[in-house]
Structure 1
Amino acid sequence: MIDRSYLPFQSARDHQDRGMEKWMGFFLSEHRSSLKNDTNKEILSSTLDNAEKLTLIGQLYISKLTGTFIVKEKQRRQTLAGHVTEITSKFITVKGADRHYTVKLQDILAISIEEEQ
């Protein structure tokens, strides 16, 4: 118990603080919104290292096969499909159905090679 005998008012001296009870509603709402944010968070990490990425990209470039790329763009996943038309040390260019995409190698999360039909 806290000694409040120095306070001039009787009501202040007799006040019983509820402690954490008054914060419980705030805590629950903050905890719930934090959990909701965690479930909506996308994992944007790649299991491929740069050598594996370059090997798959080189196969797609040489064989002219269509590839599907999962890339990180503005903290979201995006799927691109198309032919690799250009390779540099830091970027690749993918010709999709409607336009060309320039993608950083570090932003590529996954690559799959589609079979010819």
Structure 2
Amino acid sequence: MIDRSYLPFQSAREHQDRGIEKWTGFFLSEHTSSLIKDKRKKTLSSNLEDTEKQTLIGQLYTNRLTGIFTVNDKQSCRTLTGQVTEVSSHFVTIKNNRRHYTVRYQDILAVNLWKSQ
């Protein structure tokens, strides 16, 4: 216990500090906001090997099929739907009804076949 006998007020001399308890509310709010930020983060990594990507993209290109591509676009994900019109060693060109997109292989996170209904 801390000696507070020098203080002029009785309430101050008898005060019992709750210690860590007074910080619990602050900790919980900070912890909660941190958890919410973690939930919003997206993982920008691919499970596909480069050879698998090239094989899938080559099949879409050869068979003129429409694909759905998940692409890493400057710290966010973007989904592109279209046909592969050009394939090079480092880039792929995807054409949809609006424009052409040139995407690096390393930025492609997922490749799926688009199924018409």
| TM-score tier (shorter) | 0.7 to 0.9
The Cα offsets for residues 1-48 of structure 1, whole Å up to 9 and x where unpaired, read as: 46x69xxx823xx56543212321211110110111122222222121
2:82 aligned partner: 82
1:65 and 1:116 in contact (8 A); partners too: no
**2:19 partner letter:** G
Q: CA deviation at 1:87?
A: 1.9
Matched residue, 1:100: 100
User: Which amino acid is 1:65 matched to?
Assistant: L
> How far apart in 2 are the matches of 1:29 and 1:99?
46
Q: For structure 2, which runs of at least 5 residues remain unmatched after alignment?
A: 8-12
* Amino acid in structure 2 at the alignment position of 1:58: G
Matched-pair identity in %: 57
Deviation sequence 1:60-117 (CA, Å, 0-9, x none)? 1122211111112232221101111222222211111111112121121111123578
Q: Secondary structure at the match of 1:22?
A: helix
Number of matched residues?
A: 113
CA RMSD of aligned residues (A): 2.6
1:10 has 2:1 as partner:
no
SS in 2 for 1:10: coil
TM score, norm. by length of structure 1: 0.79
Contact 1:69/1:110 (8 A) holds in 2: yes
2:58 corresponds to which residue?
58
